[in-house]
């Protein structure tokens, strides 16, 4: 048994018991339910936060929930491309992915990044298994068509960037039933067996929808959805989100971050949480306590 975390030494045993008791109704409510977690931002690059994340995932599994992790890896892809002297090209914020870039994406996401996460979860006492969209024929995709923002009649070829055509979650379900924690890299495959790099937020959202997940949790580098005064909006419905987009409260870089979240909420995922991954154990606190560490979007 490891020694208690020194950070908790100021909390009395009674208070610690109170904290555990507070989590009980949530543990009971979400027992046996599926949680899809999009892992990204600082939580993925800061060693202390990586550790917290792995412990949170293992704890959720141990108390009877079924966490599934979908990860990104933009900064790691940039580093790997720089090492081989390849400069990333972007059109309208999308990475142009030629064949050579796609090879790098596959070995960074499906290799290095994925196995780091698997290792962290296993070291924290879980049993993680790494998958890409190829495994079990999980994520079928086709080339994404990018319409020019100024001239809608023009389309850009951004190479092997994909959009999802279908997800077959049977391999994920089989692993879950066997007490494993699936860790999924957002790589899909096309009709001619070609690989596609897919936005991880969209993979997480679509997977949550297909699995009829109880929750989709998106760890990001933002506090959540803010109002015009910069205050955190902790509890919203999908309809309220639409209103915030219409009046311009949600705009710019925030929109793509929550597009998948809104789709998932509208497609039957009970709750979507946009969580500040810069806060230690934010995910656990958001799921198992009354405290808000981000924005929850309810389906209705």
What residue numbers does the annotated binding site for substrate cover? 73-74, 95, 197
* Annotated binding-site ranges: 73-74, 95, 197
Shortest CA distance to 72 belongs to which of 179, 255, 219, 177? Answer: 219
Q: Which residue is associated with the tokens 């293992």?
A: 58
> What is d(CA 233, CA 231) in angstroms, rounded to the nearest whole number?
6
- Secondary structure (DSSP) of 88-127: --EETTEEPB-HHHHHHHHHIIIIIIHHHHHHHHHHTT--
Tell me the angle at which helices 238-246 and 254-266 cross, rounded to the nearest 10 degrees: 150
> What is d(CA 286, CA 277) in angstroms, rounded to the nearest whole number?
11
- Secondary structure (DSSP) of 51-81: HHHHHHHHHHHHTT-EEEEEE--HHHHHHHH
Residue 289 contacts residue 265 (beta carbons within 8 Å): no
Shortest CA distance to 199 belongs to which of 286, 130, 133? Answer: 133
Residue 189 contacts residue 196 (beta carbons within 8 Å): yes
Q: How many CB atoms lie within 10 A of CB 93?
A: 9
> What is d(CA 71, CA 204) in angstroms, rounded to the nearest whole number?
8
9 φ/ψ angles, rounded to the nearest 5 degrees: -65, -25
Residue 53 contacts residue 42 (beta carbons within 8 Å): no
Shortest CA distance to 163 belongs to which of 105, 223, 94, 81? Answer: 94
């Amino acid at each position: 048994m490891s020694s208690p975390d020194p950070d908790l030494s100021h909390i009395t045993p009674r208070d610690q018991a109170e904290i555990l008791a507070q989590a009980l109704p949530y543990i009971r409510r979400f027992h046996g339910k599926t949680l899809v977690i999009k892992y990204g931002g600082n939580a993925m690059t800061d060693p202390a936060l990586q550790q917290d994340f792995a412990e949170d995932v293992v704890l959720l599994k141990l108390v009877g929930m079924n966490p599934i992790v979908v990860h990104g890896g933009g900064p790691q892809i940039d580093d790997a491309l720089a090492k081989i002297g390849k400069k990333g090209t972007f059109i309208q914020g999308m990475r142009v992915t030629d064949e050579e870039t796609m090879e790098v994406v596959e070995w960074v996401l499906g290799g290095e990044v994925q196995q780091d996460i698997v290792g962290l979860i296993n070291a924290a006492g879980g049993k993680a298994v790494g998958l890409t969209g190829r495994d079990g024929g999980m994520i079928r995709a086709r080339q994404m068509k990018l319409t020019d923002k100024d001239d809608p009649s023009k389309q850009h070829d951004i190479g092997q960037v994909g959009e999802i055509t279908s997800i077959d979650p049977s391999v994920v379900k089989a692993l879950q039933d066997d007490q494993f924690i699936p860790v999924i890299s957002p790589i899909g495959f096309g009709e001619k067996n070609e690989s596609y790099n897919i936005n991880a937020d969209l993979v997480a959202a679509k997977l949550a929808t297909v699995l009829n997940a109880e929750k989709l949790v998106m760890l990001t580098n933002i506090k959540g959805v803010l109002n015009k005064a910069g205050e955190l909006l902790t509890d919203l419905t999908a309809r309220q989100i639409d209103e915030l987009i219409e009046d311009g409260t949600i705009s710019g870089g925030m929109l793509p971050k929550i597009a998948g979240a809104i789709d998932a909420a509208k497609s039957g995922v009970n709750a979507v949480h946009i969580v500040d991954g810069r806060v230690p154990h934010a995910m656990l606190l958001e799921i198992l306590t009354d405290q808000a560490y981000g924005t929850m979007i309810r389906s209705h």
